[in-house]
Amino acid sequence: MKYLLSSSCIGIFLIFNIQAAFSQEEYKEVTAKIEVEKVEDALSITGMVENLKSEYKNISFELAVQKKNTSNTNSAINKQSGRFTLEPLKKISLSSTKINVSKEDQIIISLFIYNEKDILIGKDRIVVENEKKKII
């Protein structure tokens, strides 16, 4: 009976740890947000970050915009990066860029936020597809 009880406790412990290992990451220090606005045949892209804590945060960021033409093999990547000190409970714009888009383009936009030890603490990703201009 004692063995049965301890093995079921171990089983429950493993189930909860496996679930935690495969669950989606949740960032509690900052919120990374990509804002996209379509103006005629161009996209205006802004990387935003919000400090969720009541303390200053030293961060670095990378905003990457990858443009692929689906009718041929043309592709381009634009990366912007920098370092900031975030004030407590503040939201700021990190970087902005504009790109032209056509019906054949697929745009992948990624924003990564790192702490002062270069550990990922926030991210966002948007995909803009073909004619539909579907944002995922």
Output the domain CATH number for residue 73. Answer: 2.60.40.2420
pLDDT in tens, 83-129: 999 999 999 999 999 999 888 899 999 999 999 999 999 999 999 88
* 29 to 14, 55, 92, 121: CA distances (angstroms): 28, 10, 14, 7
Say how many residues make up the chain.
136
In angstroms, the CA 9 to CA 136 distance is 41
Q: Coil, strand or helix: which one is 89?
A: coil
Residue 8: DSSP 8-state: H
In a domain, 16, yes or no: no
Number of separate domains in the chain = 1
Q: Which range of residues forms the domain containing residue 123? A: 30-129
pTM above 0.85, yes or no: no
Q: Mark residue 7 as left, alpha or beta (left: phi above 0; alpha: psi -120 to 50; beta: remaining).
A: alpha
